[in-house]
Amino acid sequence: MDDILRFLSLINYALGIAIGGAALYEYKSHHNITPMLIILAVVIAGPLEDFLVRMVEEKPLSPGEKERRIRLVDQLTSLGFMLFLLLAALNSK
């Protein structure tokens, strides 16, 4: 199971890097910011959320408080994700 999780994680990072590269290319070539807004949404809902959850998990808090803070991180990153997708939709041509 650990090998499968590592493999899936590697694929996720590779796809994220590919999306980031495509977004930068689109911006540089066509001055299109829509893909940049999409990659920002992905970064917020992916690596940033993971990082913030790990920070909460490492703090010396009660299990209940950790759960509340993790739910807060989840809701805030979901809000950021949806906001950037909305901006991308409004900006698309």
Q: Give residue 13's pLDDT.
A: 87
Contact by Cβ (8 Å): 41, 84: yes
**Nearest alpha-carbon partner for 31 in 87, 84, 91:** 91
Residue tagged 């990659």 (tokens): 39
Q: CA 40: distance to chain centroid?
A: 7
Q: Give residue 1's pLDDT.
A: 84
Each residue's pLDDT, cut to its tens digit, for the chain (93 residues) gives 889 999 999 999 899 899 999 999 999 999 999 999 999 999 999 999 999 999 999 999 999 999 999 999 999 999 999 999 999 999 987
Q: Give residue 92's pLDDT.
A: 82
Take residue 44 and report the two structure tokens written for it.
Answer: 């917020």
Domain boundaries, the chain: 2-91
Q: Give residue 10's pLDDT.
A: 93
